[in-house]
């Protein structure tokens, strides 16, 4: 018998959903922990050894190994393509990576145009996939703290730029590449077609590939390239459970009807020994068959007690 752990979006995104009676009863009788945190800490609960002392993951090295298989012992940084636009409050990132739907051939033209800027600093720029671009960094380079790209989306870039002396180089590289990207014919073509331009980069996820990533899961299912990369690196699992990533689902009823209720049925039939619901804001429900005798607990009407 196995267990299943679901990675779910924050409870606030699902709070408006009505809970069908079987789920309302099961959640009321479940064990609830309030762990706090965000989506990155959510993953850290299941792969804690990837969390470095500075709380930043080596995202670039992990996804580089997944995308190209050549991360080795190199030092990597993501330099992802982004679309930014000015407004009354500053310059905001409005899209990045997959949302830009870039053509692989055109991306290589952009890479060729801006790669010399980084080569002057001893860095190699490459794009094994259109949505994820990488810098291989020289050893010993003093790096600032880089903000995760998902934390920048929708915000003013200047609120997240790397600071201090170590950040000066990266602020300069960002400005120089923005000029070159803005002038590139591919971006003029995209603008004429009403498409978002690739007029900026965002640097983030610095680090080197960890030697190993122990996993408690025999199976990991996720559309997230980072989680796919972690699962691929984990290799032989130490447990028999399965981790299912549903953070991309934004329609509560779809999640309830297609995932939660079927798995709850499997738990009641004894096909699962345990069901864990791990929400991005730290609400963690653990369900098992023995809880069905907690008859004194009234069904809850929302995901949050």
Asked if the structure places residue 302 within a domain, the reply is no
Owning domain of residue 199: 59-208
Domain total in the chain? 2
- The residue among 153, 182, 208 that closes a domain is 208
Cβ burial, residue 238 (10 Å; 0-12/13-18/19+): exposed
Asked if the structure places residue 298 within a domain, the reply is no
Asked if the structure places residue 248 within a domain, the reply is yes
Q: Are residues 216 and 278 in the same domain?
A: yes
- Residue 10 burial (CB count, 10 A): 17
* End-to-end Cα distance, the chain: 29
pLDDT, mean over the chain:
89
| pLDDT score at 89 | 81
Asked if the structure places residue 304 within a domain, the reply is no
272-279 and 283-287 strand pairing: antiparallel
Q: Are residues 200 and 103 in the same domain?
A: yes
Q: Are residues 197 and 110 in the same domain?
A: yes
Which residues, 6 or more positions from 295, have their beta carbon under 8 angstroms from its beta carbon? none
Q: Are residues 200 and 227 in the same domain?
A: no
More reliable by pLDDT, 207 or 212: 207
Summarize the confidence of residues 208-233 as an average pLDDT. Answer: 87
CA distance 137 to 139: 6
Q: Are residues 204 and 64 in the same domain?
A: yes
| pLDDT score at 235 | 67
Distances (CA, A) of 165 to 141, 162, 170: 12, 9, 10
Q: Tell me the pLDDT tens digit for each residue of 81-91.
A: 999 998 888 89
Q: Are residues 146 and 36 in the same domain?
A: no
Q: What is the CATH number of the domain that holds 67?
A: 3.30.70
- The residue among 208, 235, 256 that closes a domain is 208
Q: Tell me the pLDDT tens digit for each residue of 109-157.
A: 999 999 999 999 999 999 999 999 999 999 889 999 999 998 899 999 9
Q: Are residues 64 and 204 in the same domain?
A: yes
CA distance 78 to 60: 5
Summarize the confidence of residues 16-42 as an average pLDDT. Answer: 85
Asked if the structure places residue 100 within a domain, the reply is yes
Q: Are residues 40 and 72 in the same domain?
A: no
Q: Are residues 37 and 74 in the same domain?
A: no
Which residues, 6 or more positions from 111, have their beta carbon under 8 angstroms from its beta carbon? 125, 126, 127, 133
CA atoms within 13 A on the CB side of 173: 23
Q: Tell me the pLDDT tens digit for each residue of 146-178.
A: 999 988 999 999 999 999 999 999 999 999 999
Asked if the structure places residue 301 within a domain, the reply is no
Q: 140 in helix, strand or coil? A: coil
Instruction: Give the residue carrying structure tokens 């009807």.
Output: 257
pLDDT band at 54 (very low <50, low <70, confident <90, very high): very low
Q: Are residues 29 and 67 in the same domain?
A: no
Q: Are residues 137 and 64 in the same domain?
A: yes
| pLDDT score at 56 | 67
Asked if the structure places residue 305 within a domain, the reply is no
Q: Is the pLDDT of residue 61 over 90?
A: yes
pLDDT band at 305 (very low <50, low <70, confident <90, very high): low
Q: Are residues 156 and 108 in the same domain?
A: yes
- The residue among 168, 187, 208 that closes a domain is 208
Query: Which one, of 162, 164, 163, 167, lies nearest residue 148 by Cα?
Result: 162
Asked if the structure places residue 299 within a domain, the reply is no
């Amino acid at each position: 018998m196995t267990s299943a752990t679901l990675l779910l979006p924050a409870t606030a995104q699902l709070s408006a959903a009505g809970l069908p009676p079987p789920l309302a009863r099961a959640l009321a009788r479940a064990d609830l922990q309030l762990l706090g945190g965000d989506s990155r800490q959510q993953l850290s609960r299941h792969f804690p050894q990837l969390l470095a002392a500075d709380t930043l993951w080596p995202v670039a090295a992990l996804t580089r190994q997944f995308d190209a298989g050549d991360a080795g012992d190199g030092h990597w940084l993501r330099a992802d393509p982004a679309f930014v636009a000015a407004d009354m409050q500053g310059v905001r990132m409005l899209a990045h990576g997959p949302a830009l739907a870039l053509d692989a051939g055109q991306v290589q033209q952009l890479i060729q145009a801006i790669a010399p800027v980084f080569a002057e600093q001893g860095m190699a720029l490459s794009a094994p996939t259109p949505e994820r671009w990488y810098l291989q960094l020289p050893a010993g380079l003093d790096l600032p703290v880089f903000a995760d790209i998902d934390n920048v989306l929708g915000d003013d870039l200047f609120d997240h730029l790397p600071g201090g002396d170590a950040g000066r180089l990266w602020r300069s590289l960002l400005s120089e590449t923005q000029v070159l990207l803005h002038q590139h014919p591919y971006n003029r073509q995209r603008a004429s077609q009403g498409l978002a331009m690739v007029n900026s980069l965002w640097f983030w996820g610095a680090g080197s590939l960890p030697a190993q990533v122990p996993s408690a899961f025999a199976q990991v299912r996720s559309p997230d390239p980072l989680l796919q990369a972690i699962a691929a690196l984990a290799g032989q699992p130490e447990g028999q459970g399965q981790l299912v990533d549903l953070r991309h689902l934004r329609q509560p009823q779809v999640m309830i009807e297609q995932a939660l209720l079927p798995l709850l049925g499997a738990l009641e039939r004894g096909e699962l020994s345990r069901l864990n619901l791990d929400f991005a804001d730290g609400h963690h429900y653990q369900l098992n068959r023995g809880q069905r005798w907690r008859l004194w607990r009234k069904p809850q009407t929302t995901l949050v007690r």
